Amino acid sequence: MTVTVDDIGVPHAFLFSGANVSDFKLLDKTLDSAMVPLVRGTPLYADKGYDSKYNHALSSNKYGLCDRLFRRRSINTRRTHAKRGIVERFFAWNDKQRRLLVRYEQKIATYAAFMYVHSGLLLAKRLGSEKSMHGAAR
């Protein structure tokens, strides 16, 4: 599964594929499946599995995103791990859902439906906490 999240961890795109498909081949399909329009000029962070000349050109030329794909031979730093932590936090939220963690479903469509439901609950929770924060400030 490939997921695109924004800077606060809200998912924008899901792509379900087999485990034998390399990550760098999935970037175009993942960005095409975004549920909200991608804003031009926003940075695109991805781990070293997406590093290829094709993906660097794709993110800049086709989608107009700032290319922040990590290079394969780069050294991991706190900065790179800070950006990766946003995506890892999303997966940690999913791990709290037993049905998603164990993956009881045999059909990918059922699993995808549960992912969308869980992501909707996360979004509602996130929006609810932002409303309460703004309401308390007034």
Helix (H) or strand (E) segment spanning residue 45: strand 43-46
What is the pLDDT at residue 101? 61
68-108 pLDDT, tens digit per residue, is 877 777 676 666 667 777 777 877 877 777 666 666 667 88
Q: What pLDDT is attached to residue 125?
A: 81
Predicted confidence at residue 58, as pLDDT, reads: 92
- Quick check: 120 and 35 in contact, CB under 8 A? no
- What is residue 76's predicted lDDT score, i.e. its pLDDT? 67
Q: What is the pTM of this model?
A: 0.72
Residues of the chain with pLDDT under 70: 74, 76-81, 98-105, 130-138
Distances (CA, A) of 58 to 29, 50, 53: 11, 11, 8
Q: Which of these, 84, 89, 82, 85, lies nearest to 122 by C-alpha position?
A: 89
Please report, for residues 55, 72, 134, the alpha-carbon distance to residue 79 in angstroms, rounded to integers and kept in the order given.
21, 16, 29
